[in-house]
Structure 1
Amino acid sequence: MAAKKKRRLVIRTVILTVMTAAVIYTLYANFTKESRSKVSAGDRAPDFVLEDLNGDKHQLSSYKGKGVFLNFWGTWCKPCEREMPYMNNQYKEFKDQGVEILAVNVGEPEFLINKFVEKHGLDFPILKDKNKDIMNMYGVFNLPATLLVNPQGEVIKVEEGELTEQKIREMMESIKPAKGS
């Protein structure tokens, strides 16, 4: 009988220790996530190279002189899905005015991304962040997330959450290069 009680006490102690460690880690992760290298307005946009669905490489710094609407998204994200047609409409209007959209899919299989792109008839580059390295580099935690990068390569705005078409239009207008630049 005493051995059973002792074993139960050891098991309970182990479970309590594991649960306490999990709570401490969760609290630490939540309280420090804002301070962990989150890119914000005024920062230089960290450079990266990602492949699109055609196998072409896109390096952010190669878009210097253009405004970049950098969007992080997933096929499972309903707000992402709702804003994509708006982004596509505005891309058609602004692409000849020096504004580029780079839509970074975070960690999904290529066949899912292709189905999504075909379903919505998207024309802008869809980049694959297979291991979420770029998402983590930019400190993106919630999807959708959009960063506006001006023609000089500086982040001027970070917006989390779903965007309306009017908001996307205003954002693209704000990063359009000045005439004669």
Structure 2
Amino acid sequence: MKKNKKTKRLILRVCLLSLFLGAAGYSIYSSVTGDSRSLIKAGDAAPDFVLTDLDGNTHQLSDYKGQGVFLNFWGTWCKPCEKEMPYIENQYNDFKDKGVQTIAVNVGESDFQVQNFVDEYSMSFPVVIDQKKDVQNAYTIGPLPTTLLINPEGEIIKVITGEMTEEDIKKYMQMIQPAEDQ
């Protein structure tokens, strides 16, 4: 009986030690290798991408060169995203003929979920789905919503994380509006 208890205790200790060593090893490995991605920031060139919208049309960021791009990353489950979508829609309608385009990038949800959301909020700007999250990773997007303001030259001039008011969105779209159209 006593030997059996000692064996169980030894096994438990070995398991705990193994778990601890594994966690410590992973921490050391992570800190040594580091995250090779650097955070995208104002002043960086916007990484080009091609994504498909719900109608099957492709949207390549570089095709919008010469226009400002309001690039919004969002999810259907995200309450701040839900709240700001009508504001984005209103400002899109005001700025789409002034050289400012809006692209809403959904991060990996199903076409069905996204289409229901788009229909519910009557979104008329391009909505693309980043199924593999390649674009999300290229832009090092963390929390949602995150919006990037891209000037007509393709440079990121501002990264906004969190919910925006309609006044914010209007101000941001004015910031990326091509000079000759202001």
Aligned-pair distance for 1:13? 3.1
Higher Cα Rg, which structure: 2
Residue type at the aligned position of 1:14: C
Instruction: Report if the CA contact (8 A) 1:64-1:152 is conserved.
Output: yes
Identity among equivalent pairs (%): 53
Q: Report the 3-state secondary structure (helix = DSSP H, G, I; strand = E; otherwise coil) of the residue aligned with 2:124.
A: coil
| C-alpha distance in structure 1 between counterparts of 2:24 and 2:145, whole Å | 28
Unaligned runs of 5+ in 2: none
Give the match for residue 14 of structure 2.
Answer: 13
Give the match for residue 168 of structure 1.
Answer: 169
Residue type at the aligned position of 2:134: D
TM-score, normalization: structure 2?
0.89
Q: Does 1:119 align with 2:123?
A: no
Aligned-pair distance for 1:125? 0.4
Instruction: Report if the CA contact (8 A) 1:37-1:138 is conserved.
Output: no
Instruction: Report if the CA contact (8 A) 1:105-1:128 is conserved.
Output: yes
Give the match for residue 179 of structure 1.
Answer: 180
Aligned-pair distance for 1:28? 8.1
Residue type at the aligned position of 1:59: Q
Residue type at the aligned position of 1:159: I
Give the match for residue 132 of structure 1.
Answer: 133
CA displacement 1:70-99 (0-9 Å, x = unmatched):
000000000000000000000000000000
Instruction: Report if the CA contact (8 A) 2:98-2:181 is conserved.
Output: no
Give the match for residue 151 of structure 1.
Answer: 152
RMSD over aligned Cα atoms: 2.5
| C-alpha distance in structure 2 between counterparts of 1:27 and 1:103, whole Å | 38
Q: Report the 3-state secondary structure (helix = DSSP H, G, I; strand = E; otherwise coil) of the residue aligned with 1:37.
A: coil
Q: How many matched pairs?
A: 180
Runs of 4+ with >6 A deviation: 26-30, 32-35
Give the match for residue 102 of structure 2.
Answer: 101
Residue type at the aligned position of 2:155: E
TM-score, normalization: structure 1?
0.89
